[in-house]
Each structure stands twice: as structure tokens, then as C-alpha cells.
Amino acid sequence: MADTARRHAELVARIRDANHRYYQLDAPDITDAEYDLLLRELEALETAHPQLVQANSPSQRVGDAPSGKFAQVRHALPMLSLANAFSDTEVAEFVERIERETGDDLPAFSVEPKLDGLAISLRYEHGMFVRGATRGDGSTGEDVTANLRTVKSIPMQLATGLFPPEVLEVRGEIIMPRADFEAYNARARAEGRKPLANPRNGAAGSLRQLDAAVTAQRPLTFYAYALGEVQGADLPATHSQTLQWLRQLGFPVSPEVGTAAGLTGLLAYYKSIGERRDGLPYDIDGVVYKLDRFDRQQEMGFVSRAPRWAIAHKFPAEEARTTVEAIEVNVGRTGAVTPWVQMTPVQVGGVTVSRATLHNADQIARLDVRVGDSVIIRRAGDVIPEVVRVVESARRPPDSVPWQMPAHCPDCGSAIEREAGEVVARCTGGLFCPAQRVQAVVHFASRRAMDIEGLGERFAQDLVTFGLIQTVADLYRLQVADFLEMKRRADARDDSTPATVKAGKIADKWAQNLVAAIEASRNTTLERLLFALGISDVGESTAKTLARHFGSLDALMAADEAALQQVPDIGPVVAAHILHFFAQSHNREVIAELRAHGVRWTEGAPQRASDGPLSGKTVVLTGALESMSRDEAGAKLEALGARVSGSVSKKTALLIAGQAAGSKLAKAQDLGLEVWDEAQLLAFLAAQ
């Protein structure tokens, strides 16, 4: 008994600390799954040894005492928690107990998703919202009325007509929808602020702000799921009918609520919600089954902290705790350098994972992730696992060194640089870096760049994988035999060699077409070449502007920052990207190789200005034109001095709207810009 009592005391202390961190600090240091295991162990100990049970044991309490930051509210009816089921067997035992005690062979249940947020109670008197409180310890919560008034989905007055209930207490969950959570964190990272750990913490922390103005800025919403005290109202006979009534009163109710009969119905609902879980607009950690008839609920009654007529069927945990073994970086196809952690493999969301993303250097600095740290990782559906927080109290050694972004690319050795104002660090290898090679080839061959028909991502990947090309310049030395070798090796790798090939019949027309397309691309324009090189922030429009302004590639490569910023619409950021690209020796080498392989582009005298009627004006084309393509129209406008842009802004002088013009037309109208239809465009062109 001494060991049992000691273990009981350890569990009580650990769970109390976890409750304090979760309910008061909104900064948990263990996952929900770990907490559930601790609580189940405590309950098992107390079941086996009833003498250990104390009135203030965590097994007898719902949450934690109010923090003291807010006034306390005594709940008229306790806000209880729910017992948890982690397997179909436990659900079956729950249903069998109800069938046995009620005599109902096929009990009806109200079923709903278990929202992962903060439980609250809303009190209405004579139809008007008067107070809102958190659940707290189940008996006493915190008065957060001022903050709840900022949540737009909570009605301030009930839609009850002339005779509202004297008292109506509605219970539900404050949540932060996934899309809003991601948008908030994206803004926070961009502004250098600390992002929220997860939607649940975001909802809880937002609602418990001392300044209601801060809460008002957070994207919170509310879903109702139960009643508390009610006076002066005739209630429906079932829980499912009550939810419908709450909808009529103006409360949001989860659209996923429903009814189910017996064990088979419950498990089918669990499976259905589980399959749709990743597509739901909010986080859930399970489903809830409630005996639908209120008279049956009264028959079943309660235990100390939970009703016997309801249970939460939990999903596999989406968060887990593990240890960081190493921090590495991955270079993406665009050169973005993303830090990753290698960690001790752990089960999370039903999958064993050993790597998790850290997004960028700022995120690592905010989390202060170090090798050897104990961390909480999160995985939702098919989302890449990410580190959400460090358990600093478990840091070993306590004086470990903070991680730093490496100075050079692990794939090509080029410098890793992060420009002022940007979140992402990038490898400067450009056309030379193996990690960026496939994307560089795909972009180079695209229709609006060098226009190499038939050379898509699959072929580009295989050409790189099998070492047939190192840079885009190598495309111009490929022969039919090279493509046939690529196809042979790819078929062998994929175990997909056609029977005709095995019989010695090798079709090569496709390879001949590719070689011909590459050959045709040797003659191009300067603007297409500039776009094809993939210089950061140099799109089609900017490439055209640069080609017209400098006239030749050599003149552009020789330009300094001052000369670049004389080009219309070239600011310091784009100028820096251009300078940086041409400063890399390997990029210049690729350009030299393109020339050596016979690639030629049209050049001409620099055009510093135009006498055309649209000189200096930015024009945007949107919608479909009947008389010509948008590219043709753009070329005609550029010949008259216009700069054709793909986006509408205050600098736009004219929008030309064809059929089915959408958001660009609406924005132009909002800005009060001049708008032409196709007839006006044709009349203008005919007059020139």
C-alpha cells in the first residue's frame, strides 16, 4: 500500500499541475493523450483502493479552480465533464449498461462532434444576455461577459417573440475555426509576433484576456450543445429536439449533430465523422453520444463528475511528446530553406512520425527548439507534423546552445541568405542548385518561357534523377537516344516496361518530338529568356519591361542598382533580386552555356521612353475577348507604350474588361478607375 499511496500522490500532484497549466495559464506542458492516461491510471487506483479517494481529488473534479483574474460565478447547475471511451469495446459497455438499466433494446442517442475549445455558459434573463462564464471547476467559473459580447455568433437577444423564458442558460463551446486560426498565425509570423500554439489554446487564451478589445480582434465563434438552468419555458422531450429549438432561438449548433440508434448507429457515426474530420472547419477530438430522451437521462443519473447517460468517444491523439535528435534543413524547389527536426519516432494521429517541420528560422527562434529538447508535436490528418511547443522544464542539458540557420546550402554549397523584411531564407544557388533543378527546368520549358512542348514535370524529374542534365543549358545537348535511355530506366524503376519494348519494339516518335521542340526553342526573345531564367520577382511583365529598357542581356547584366531602379516599376527589392542573380558565377556560367549551345534571343536598342498614346500608363486586361486573345491585345497595347500588368492597384490607369470579368473589375470599380469594354478597345486601336 505504501507504493500505491505514493503513486497516487504523484498522480494527484501531476494532474493538478496539468489542470492549472491548461485551465488557468492556457499553456499545457503535456498532450491531451498523456493527460487522459494519467487520469485513467488515477481512476483505476481509486477504484481498486477506495480509501485513497479524497473530495478534492482530480477524479472528483471537472477542471481547475478559477484563476482569480476575473470575478467568480457560481453555476446554478454544475457544468460536468464527460467520461471518455477510447475503443469500440468501451462504447459497447456504455450502451449495454444503458440497455440493461432502462430496458430499452435499441436506445436512441443524440450524436455530435466533440469540439476542441473552451466550455462556457451563457445566461439570458427575459431574452437578454446578462452574463457568461467559463466552466472552471464545474461548480464555479470566471465571469467573462465583456469578452463574450465581442463574439459575433453569440446572440445578445433571443429570437423568442413576445414571451421569452424568464431564465435560460445555454451551454456550449467557444472555438477558433481552423481557417481563421491559420490566417491569424500567418499574420502573426509576418509581423514578428508569437503565433498561437493550436486553435484550442487560441480560443481559451483569447476569451480570458483582461482587455475585451483584444478578444474582439480574435476570430472566435460559438456553438451551443446543452442547457443549464431554465425557468419559464416548456422544453422538448429530447436532447436532439432541444438543439433544434436552440437553433430557432438564434444559437449556432454544429451542422454535424444528428441521432443514432444502438451501438451500430453510434459506431457508424464515429466512422463517418472520422472520415470527414480533416475537412471540418474546426478541430474536434472525438464525438459525443448522449441518451436522447430526457426521462431516460434522469433514470441513468450521474456519478461524481460526469453523467452516466453520455460519453465522449475519443479519436487517436493528434498531439504527442517526443525528443529532438537533430535539426536539419530542406531546400525546396524554389530555394526556400525549411528547418526540420529529426526526433524519436512517436505515434500521433494514428501514424508513426519521426520528422516535423519548423517552418522557418523565426519559428525556431520563437519556440527556441534545441537538439535534445522534449517537444510537443501536432499532426492533423494529412498535414505535415509540426512542433507546437517546447517543454522547457524538461530541457537537457539546461544550457544547450540555440540552433542557428546554416550559412551554406547543404545541396550545392551556395550561400543561404534572408533578405530584409522576408520570413523565408533561400539558397542562392538558383540554376545551379540540385534541389531547385527540377522546378528550374519545368519553369524554363513552360509555354510562356522557352515553350518546349512536351517537357513537363515528370520528364524533368527523370532527366534530373538519372543525371542526364545538371542545368537547363544541358537540355540543348540531349539527343533521341538520351530520352530513350531515360524512359528505359524510368520503366525499370517503376516496373512498368511495356511488353512491346520487351519484345524489342521501341517507339521513339515522342522522343523525336521532344528533341524537335528543344531545337525550336533555340530562337527566342530576350523577354522570354529573362522570364525563363527564374529570377526571383521577375515575372512576364517585369521581364518585358527589362528587355525594352536595356535592349540586351549584356546591358542588363552590367547594370548596377541605380540603373535598375530607373526602370519603371522596379523598386529596391526587385533590383536586389536581379543584382543577386547575376552576381552568382554559376548563373552566368549557365547563360554562357546557353549561348555556346546555340540559344539566341532577339535584342534591340534600349527604349527609355515611348511617344505612344499610352506611354507611362499601366493597363490591366481581364475577362475573355472575342476578337483576339489577351496576349495579342497586350502586345498591341505595349506597342503603344503601355505597361501591361496582371493585377489592379491605385497605379492602374485603365482596365479593359472582356466577358466574365470578375474580381479585377470589381476592384477597379471600387478604386474609381477607368474601365473599357472590348468595343472601346477596338475603337481605340483602330484610331491609332
| Residue 53: φ, ψ to 5° | -70, 130
Q: How far, in Å, CA of 17 to CA of 23, rounded?
A: 10
pLDDT tens by residue, 618-657:
899 998 888 888 888 888 888 788 888 877 888 889 999 9
Whether pLDDT at 527 is above 90: yes
Please give the model's pTM, rounded to 2 decimal places.
0.51
pLDDT tens by residue, 536-575:
889 888 898 899 889 999 999 999 999 998 887 788 888 9
Which is the catalytic residue, given 69, 114, 487, 664?
114
- CB-neighbour burial class of residue 365 (10 A; exposed 0-12, middle 13-18, buried 19+): middle
Ranges in the chain annotated CATH 1.10.150.20: 430-521, 524-602
Which range has the worst mean pLDDT, 22-36, 132-146, 210-224, 303-317?
Answer: 22-36
Cβ neighbours for 643, distance < 8 A, ≥ 6 positions apart: 541, 545, 568, 569, 616, 617, 618, 619
Q: How many CB atoms lie within 10 A of CB 405?
A: 15
pLDDT tens by residue, 238-276:
999 999 999 999 999 999 999 999 999 999 999 999 989
Helix (H) or strand (E) holding 84: strand 84-85
Ranges in the chain annotated CATH 1.10.287.610: 2-60
Whether pLDDT at 63 is above 60: no
Whether pLDDT at 17 is above 60: yes
C-alpha cell at 115: 469540439
The Cα-based distances of 57 to 15, 32, 74, 136 in angstroms read 9, 19, 20, 15
Residue 553 region by backbone torsions, left for phi larger than 0, else alpha for psi between -120 and 50, else beta = alpha
Average pLDDT over residues 654-671: 88
pLDDT of residue 545: 87
pLDDT of residue 392: 79
Q: What angle do CA 623, 624, 625 make, to 5 degrees?
A: 125
What 3-state DSSP class applies to 344?
Answer: strand
Q: How far, in Å, CA of 453 to CA of 519, rounded?
A: 11
- CB-neighbour burial class of residue 115 (10 A; exposed 0-12, middle 13-18, buried 19+): buried
pLDDT bin (cut points 50, 70, 90) of residue 66 is low
Average pLDDT over residues 499-505: 75
Q: How many CB atoms lie within 10 A of CB 639?
A: 13
Q: Which CATH superfamily is domain 618-686 in?
A: BRCT domain (3.40.50.10190)
Q: How far, in Å, CA of 428 to CA of 534, rounded?
A: 12
pLDDT bin (cut points 50, 70, 90) of residue 228 is very high
Q: Mean of the per-residue pLDDT values for the chain? A: 87
Yes or no: domain 430-521 corresponds to CATH 1.20.1250.40: no
Q: How far, in Å, CA of 291 to CA of 307, rounded?
A: 10
**Starting at the edge strand that comes first in sequence, how are the strands of the sheet with 674-676 ordered?**
643-645, 618-622, 652-657, 674-676
Using the structure block, give the residue that is written with the C-alpha cell 525549411.
338
pLDDT bin (cut points 50, 70, 90) of residue 14 is confident
Nearest Cα to Cα of residue 548 among 533, 563, 568 = 568
8 Å CB contact between 199 and 181:
yes
Cα 267 → chain centroid = 30
Among 3.30.470.30, 3.40.50.300, 3.40.50.720, 3.40.190.10, what is the CATH number of 84-314? 3.30.470.30
Cβ neighbours for 153, distance < 8 A, ≥ 6 positions apart: 221, 222, 252
Q: How far, in Å, CA of 176 to CA of 178, rounded?
A: 6
8 Å CB contact between 400 and 417:
no
| Residue 643: φ, ψ to 5° | -105, 115
Cα 263 → chain centroid = 35
Q: How far, in Å, CA of 672 to CA of 252, rounded?
A: 39
Q: How far, in Å, CA of 143 to CA of 131, rounded?
A: 7
C-alpha cell at 316: 487517436
Average pLDDT over residues 120-140: 93
C-alpha cell at 423: 520570413
Average pLDDT over residues 125-147: 92
Q: How many CB atoms lie within 10 A of CB 87?
A: 10
β-strands 618-622, 600-602 pairing: unpaired
pLDDT of residue 23: 62
pLDDT of residue 109: 97
Helix axes 2-19, 32-48, angle to 10 degrees: 140
What Rg, from alpha-carbon coordinates, does the chain have? 33
pLDDT of residue 33: 75
8 Å CB contact between 285 and 318:
yes
Which range has the worst mean pLDDT, 223-227, 291-295, 379-383, 416-420?
Answer: 379-383
Percentage of residues in the chain with pLDDT exceeding 90? Answer: 45
Fold for the domain defined by 2-60? Helix Hairpins (1.10.287)
Nearest Cα to Cα of residue 21 among 84, 85, 64 = 64
Helix (H) or strand (E) holding 426: strand 425-427
C-alpha cell at 571: 523598386
8 Å CB contact between 192 and 146:
no
Average pLDDT over residues 424-433: 83
8 Å CB contact between 378 and 319:
yes
pLDDT of residue 564: 93
Using the structure block, give the residue that is written with the C-alpha cell 433514470.
299
pLDDT bin (cut points 50, 70, 90) of residue 305 is confident
In terms of pLDDT, which residue wins out, 161 or 156? 156
Whether pLDDT at 192 is above 70: yes
pLDDT of residue 601: 94
pLDDT tens by residue, 388-424:
888 877 777 777 888 888 999 998 888 888 877 677 8
8 Å CB contact between 80 and 306:
yes
Q: How far, in Å, CA of 208 to CA of 63, rounded?
A: 16
Q: How many CA atoms lie within 13 A of 148 on its CB side?
A: 26
Helices of type H across 521-629: 526-532, 540-550, 553-558, 561-564, 572-583, 585-596
pLDDT of residue 382: 56
Among 3.30.750.24, 2.40.50.140, 1.20.140.10, 3.10.20.30, what is the CATH number of 319-394? 2.40.50.140
pLDDT of residue 262: 95
pLDDT of residue 599: 96
Whether pLDDT at 435 is above 70: yes
- First-to-last C-alpha distance (Å) of the chain: 100
Q: Which CATH superfamily is domain 524-602 in?
A: 5' to 3' exonuclease, C-terminal subdomain (1.10.150.20)
Q: How far, in Å, CA of 342 to CA of 606, rounded?
A: 53
* Adjacent-strand bridge partners of 351: 348
Amino acid at 586: H
**114 a catalytic residue:** yes
Q: How far, in Å, CA of 666 to CA of 659, rounded?
A: 13
Q: How many CA atoms lie within 13 A of 334 on its CB side?
A: 7
In terms of pLDDT, which residue wins out, 232 or 360? 232
C-alpha cell at 641: 507604350
8 Å CB contact between 546 and 568:
no
Ranges in the chain annotated CATH 3.40.50.10190: 618-686
What 3-state DSSP class applies to 534?
Answer: coil
Using the structure block, give the residue that is written with the C-alpha cell 440497455.
99
pLDDT tens by residue, 571-610:
888 898 899 889 988 889 999 999 999 999 998 777 655 5
pLDDT tens by residue, 443-474:
999 999 999 999 998 999 999 999 999 999 99
pLDDT of residue 51: 84
